[in-house]
Amino acid sequence: MATSPQVAIIMGSRSDWPVMKHAADMLDKLAVAYEAKVVSAHRTPERMVDFAKGAKAAGFKVIIAGAGGAAHLPGMTASLTPLPVLGVPVPVRDGLKGIDSLLSIVQMPGGVPVGTLAVGEAGAKNAGLLAAQILALNDADLAARVDALRQAQTDAVPESVED
Ligand code: RP5
For 63-119, write each residue's pLDDT tens digit: 999 999 999 999 999 999 999 999 999 999 888 999 999 999 999 999 999 999 999
Average pLDDT over the chain reads 97
- ipTM higher than threshold 0.85: yes
Whether ligand 1 lies within 6 angstroms of the CB of 135 is answered as no
- CATH number of this structure's domain 7-155: 3.40.50.1970
SS3 labels along the chain: CCCCCCEEEEECCHHHHHHHHHHHHHHHHCCCCEEEEECCCCCCHHHHHHHHHHCCCCCCCEEEEEEECCCCHHHHHHCCCCCCEEEEEECCCCCCCCHHHHHHHHCCCCCCCCEECCCCHHHHHHHHHHHHHHHHCCCHHHHHHHHHHHHHHHHCCCCCCCC
Nearest-atom number in ligand 1 for the CA of 68 is 6
Q: Is the pLDDT of residue 62 over 50?
A: yes
Q: Is 16 annotated as a binding residue?
A: yes
Whether ligand 1 lies within 6 angstroms of the CB of 132 is answered as no
- State the pLDDT at residue 2: 53
Parse the chain into domains and list their residue ranges. 7-155
For 2-58, write each residue's pLDDT tens digit: 568 999 999 999 999 999 999 999 999 999 999 999 999 999 999 999 999 999 999
pTM: 0.96
